[in-house]
Amino acid sequence: MFKVKCEIEAKPLAEEKDKEIELLLRQKWIRAVVVDERIGIAARRLMRHHTACKKPADGIHLATALALNVDEMHTFDGSDLLSLDGKVNRADGKPLRICIPTPAPEPPPTPTLFGE
């Protein structure tokens, strides 16, 4: 069995953060995926073979991205998964791009009636 201690003490999120998370999860680019035995086994193997994949949640996210052949896996965890950019292959054999997400460009300003 392979087990990693993730946090010293889990702290619940503030109630007002619930809405932010719910809105985030409703975005069109979010896809709900069942973590089945195949993903679980792949996650465990990734954690064993890549020291940068330190936490079970990282292993699950990475295994899911690989299985779904996503174009890019976004992470803000600069000390861990970013070091695996291009070093792990998706199910189709192509290397997975792992990067920090870039903000969407601002839309151009809407012109006013008198160009003000």
Q: How does DSSP assign 57-98, residue by residue?
A: HHHHHHHHHHHTT-SEEE-S-TTTGGGGTTTSB-TTSPBPEE
Can you give the pLDDT at residue 17? 85
Are residues 71 and 101 in contact, defined by beta-carbon separation less than 8 angstroms? Answer: no
Are residues 69 and 92 in contact, defined by beta-carbon separation less than 8 angstroms? Answer: yes
Can you give the pLDDT at residue 1? 39
Question: From first to last of its 116 residues, what are the pLDDT tens digits of the chain?
Answer: 344 555 667 677 788 888 888 888 888 878 888 999 999 999 999 999 999 998 999 999 999 999 999 999 988 877 789 999 999 999 999 999 999 988 777 777 777 666 55
| pTM of the shown model | 0.72
